Amino acid sequence: MSRLADAGAVVTVGVDTHRDVHVAVAVDERGGLIGTGSFPANGAGYEALTRWAEGLGSIGTIGIEGTGSWGAGLARHVTEGGFACVEVTRPNRQHRRRHGKSDIADALGAARAVLSGEATGRPRGGEGPVEGLRTNRVALRSAGKARTQAINQLKSLVVTAPVALRASLEGLTNQQLISRVAGFRPVGLDVIAITKRAMRSLARRVEYLDTEIEDLQASRNELVDIAAPSELMNEYGVGPAVAASLLITFGTNPDRIGSDAAFAALCGVSAVDASSGLQQRHRLNRGGDRQANHALWRIVTVRLAHHQPTRNYLARRISEGKTKRETIRVLKRHIARRIWRILNNHPPPLDKP
């Protein structure tokens, strides 16, 4: 269904994104439904969606769900086309209870969230070295998980192996076990030979994954050299892996994160108000980007181990009655503030220089 908006009216578009199809809803300035449409999740579909919206009126803002996943391509297309693009989170529970769960309802919720001002965040940049870091991290994490799985399976085979074979492999470190088993030359079809073949396969898989991880880490480090400002790398406890996580979370457009408080919330290190009545309190924020949260935690743990000013601060707070866990939360919030200031003043580049 569709109808033309009033002459001169501004149309707001909400899009519920999926792997194969994107569903769009257009509303007028009062939130009234103008039209709905379904478009393929490809270049031709992106172009058709914007043409459809332009045919309904003057496009104001396009709100897109999942700009970091299924909506990434559409967000790039919309931004390159000169349209205002806003990142929309999933519909809230109250909207779902009133309107049910459907693609059109979700798209309508996205459009009205933009219109009401509830959704204001700009999508993180999807180009340049930071986007390369994001895709690199996907492959690196996958390789790391596969390596851990293969080692665990190899050690499990050692436990269940025939007694003589198990005795020859017990007590070895992981690296010693992999090196020895990778050199097996089993002959025959008895249980020991078959077990050795299975062990060798797993050990050689680990060796291959080690090489793959080294290559991916080298690529990551090159991208960090391009994208990370020297001020970030000079922060105590920040290495390539930590810097990559923080850069991915921050993105390439600093306007989407307007304050250090917004960045802290994005990293899940901001205190959440849980006050009620006369009771005034805050609780731990369990939301946000958990990879960025982990990166801040790694910075804190390195500083607590080797950075004397941080160690002195911990001792002072404990003497004041605070716990170590509470102090770590404060330190993570402090570091988030410092990181935001650095990246806000020196945002990552959009393209390789």
Residue indicated by tokens 């033309």: 4
Predicted local distance difference test score (pLDDT) of residue 10: 86
**0.85 exceeded by pTM:** no
Task: For the chain, give the number of residues.
Answer: 353
Q: Are 312 and 216 in contact (CB under 8 A)?
A: no
Predicted local distance difference test score (pLDDT) of residue 99: 56
pLDDT in tens, 249-302: 888 767 778 889 889 988 989 876 656 665 655 566 777 889 999 999 999 999
Fold of domain 10-116 = Nucleotidyltransferase; domain 5 (3.30.420)
Predicted local distance difference test score (pLDDT) of residue 3: 55
Please list, residue by residue across 260-272, b when 16 or more beta carbons sit within 10 angstroms of its beta carbon and e when fewer do.
beebbbbbbbbee
Predicted local distance difference test score (pLDDT) of residue 118: 77
Predicted local distance difference test score (pLDDT) of residue 288: 80
- Closest by Cα among 33, 35, 17 to 71: 17
Residue indicated by tokens 């209870």: 97
pLDDT in tens, 67-123: 878 888 898 899 888 888 888 876 555 655 665 568 888 899 889 988 888 776 667
Domain ranges of the chain: 10-116, 128-227, 230-345
pLDDT (mean) for 319-331:
91
Q: Are 21 and 40 in contact (CB under 8 A)?
A: yes
Average pLDDT, the chain: 87
Residue indicated by tokens 């293969």: 150
Predicted local distance difference test score (pLDDT) of residue 196: 96
